[in-house]
Amino acid sequence: MGFYHYKTAITSSPFFPNKFLWSFLIVFGLRYIRVISNIVGNILYRATRIAPNPKYNASDVTVMIPTLGLNSVLSYQVAESVLAHPIAKLIIVASGPDFQHETEAFTEVISDPRVQLLHSDDAGRRRKTALAMPYIRTALMVLQDNKTIWPVSPNFPPLMMAAFEDPELGAVMPLIEARHHHHRSWKEAFYNFLGMTYLTRRNYEYRACNAIDGGLSTVPGRFGIFRTSIYADPVFQYEYLNEYVGGKGPLDADDDKFHTRWLIEHKWKMRIQSTPETTMITENGQSNRFWSQILRWTRTTWRSNPRELKHGRVWRQHPFTAISLTLWMIRVSFIHEAAMFGLLYLFCCSTGLTDHFGTSAAFLYLWVVALKFNKIAHHFRQYPKDLIFSPLYLIFGYACSFVKIYAFFTRKNTEWVTAEPVAVEEDDAEYVDEGKKVAPGAI
């Protein structure tokens, strides 16, 4: 009787059949079901603990770094941070024009016998990785960029390898944060802030997906630890070196998306280890190339997400991650939020509640802003002075809506930020996608 009474009261309400109300609720739900789920996922997340008798230790790891040149302050810092741990070997594959001279200069600074320097005529990251594979003899391998510095904690390698006690686990990623430079220049400080919060948002989403269904949208190219057998697989290498999108390739970009798809398709589990001792520092947010990076990353997502989602395994194995990737593709913040406020206004007008629109819109905007900043609250706890950038952060988010639309229509552009072959600082260099079909071991 009670249920029937409430059902009748609801369905007889003048609001119940209102098309604007239902449209608003649908748009609101599509916008925030993922946001609320991410909050829950972060609450549920727990890092894997080190086993009493670990199967692997640091001597079971080879680190591979593809780079353009060897000699920059950041390159030395990265190498020294790696070698501070008892790893088996550090392989650096460079493609600079003066490799012999750079090798001599590098070994004057770092003479550790665990370092092996290789030269590649190809600037591509994928081909450099394939070149290094015959020299890797350990069970595990780290593939990272030339900007990400290892933590000093001796627990970093054991914590990163802890999840490999599970024989079905294929890859682990750490927490990656950008360095805060405390720039005096307002412009540089703002872009540094944007670079830091970009990674903070990604970390937040990674933890949520991994906690809810074990998935990861990407095992990032900045740092990932893999079972060597995955990258050493000849079938993997052939497809890795000969990936095409829309008839264009072989690709050098999107290598992180490639190995993530491979892990999912071959039933490998993935893990993020998010702890203070597994937090790595990298560079992100340089003003001279920030927008080009955002555009490149967004193009990568447009190219890769549909390819990942078309495989039934990701829906069966990682349903929440698959839904998150789908919602990313249909969400454009500026349009989505404008639609919510527009539908709210139309609902108020159609029900004679126009006088209440201002109050309702104010509460809705507070909700919108609160959840935008929820993802990056961790950053503001660490750097409260950056709160001054909050208004511009909101504007940046809306600007990214237009970048996202532009990236969709230019998604077939697979070039990275162009790197000149000479006279360029290593930490400012990235690779250009070009090349011919290559067989494993042919480099």
Residue 10 in domain:
no
Average the pLDDT over each of 85-99, 236-250, 342-356 and give the range with the smallest value.
236-250
Residue 204 in domain:
yes
pLDDT tens for residues 181-223?
A: 999 899 999 999 999 999 999 999 999 999 999 999 999 999 9
Structural contact between residues 133 and 231, judged by C-beta atoms closer than 8 angstroms: yes
Residue 296 in domain:
yes
State the pLDDT at residue 253. Answer: 85
pLDDT tens for residues 239-261?
A: 999 998 877 878 888 899 999 99
Average the pLDDT over each of 81-85, 266-270, 311-315, 374-378 and give the range with the smallest value.
311-315
State the pLDDT at residue 427. Answer: 38
State the pLDDT at residue 13. Answer: 54
Structural contact between residues 106 and 117, judged by C-beta atoms closer than 8 angstroms: yes
Q: Shortest CA distance to 275 belongs to which of 84, 58, 60, 49?
A: 49
Give residue 229's Cα distance to chain centre.
Answer: 23
State the pLDDT at residue 387. Answer: 97
Residue 442 in domain:
no
State the pLDDT at residue 16. Answer: 60
- Distance, in Å, from the CA atom of 243 to the CA atom of 245, rounded to the nearest integer, reads 7
State the pLDDT at residue 96. Answer: 76
Residue 125 in domain:
yes
Structural contact between residues 216 and 210, judged by C-beta atoms closer than 8 angstroms: yes
State the pLDDT at residue 413. Answer: 84
Classified as helix, coil or strand, 357 is helix
Q: Is 267 left (phi over 0), alpha (psi -120 to 50) or beta?
A: left
Environment class of 193 (CB within 10 Å of its CB; exposed 0-12, middle 13-18, buried 19+):
buried
Residue 161 in domain:
yes
- Distance, in Å, from the CA atom of 110 to the CA atom of 104, rounded to the nearest integer, reads 10
State the residue range of the domain holding 198: 45-329+412-428
pLDDT tens for residues 267-302?
A: 999 999 999 999 999 999 888 889 999 999 899 899
State the pLDDT at residue 383. Answer: 97
- Distance, in Å, from the CA atom of 237 to the CA atom of 440, rounded to the nearest integer, reads 6
pLDDT tens for residues 133-151?
A: 999 999 999 999 999 999 9
Strands 169-178, 279-282: pairing kind:
parallel
pLDDT tens for residues 23-54?
A: 999 999 999 999 999 999 999 999 999 999 99
What percent of the residues of the chain are helix, what percent strand, and what percent coil, each to the nearest 5?
55, 10, 35
Residue 16 in domain:
no
State the pLDDT at residue 15. Answer: 56
Classified as helix, coil or strand, 141 is strand
- Distance, in Å, from the CA atom of 118 to the CA atom of 288, rounded to the nearest integer, reads 30
* Number of Cβ atoms within 10 Å of the Cβ of 322: 24
If you count them, how many residues does the chain have?
A: 443
**CATH code of the domain in which 131 resides:** 3.90.550.10
Please, which residues bridge with residue 286 across strands? Answer: none
Three-state secondary structure string covering 230-266:
HHHCHHHHHHHHCCCECCECCCCCCHHHHHHHHHHHC
- Distance, in Å, from the CA atom of 242 to the CA atom of 441, rounded to the nearest integer, reads 13
Token pair 């790893």 in the structure block, residue: 87
- Number of helices (H), then strands (E), belonging to the chain: the values are 17, 8
Residue 374 in domain:
no
% pLDDT > 90, the chain: 75
Measured CA to CA in angstroms, residue 61 lies from 142, 145, 157 at distances of: 7, 16, 9
How many domains does one find in the chain?
1
Residue 419 banded pLDDT, cuts 50, 70, 90: very low
Please, which residues bridge with residue 66 across strands? Answer: 93
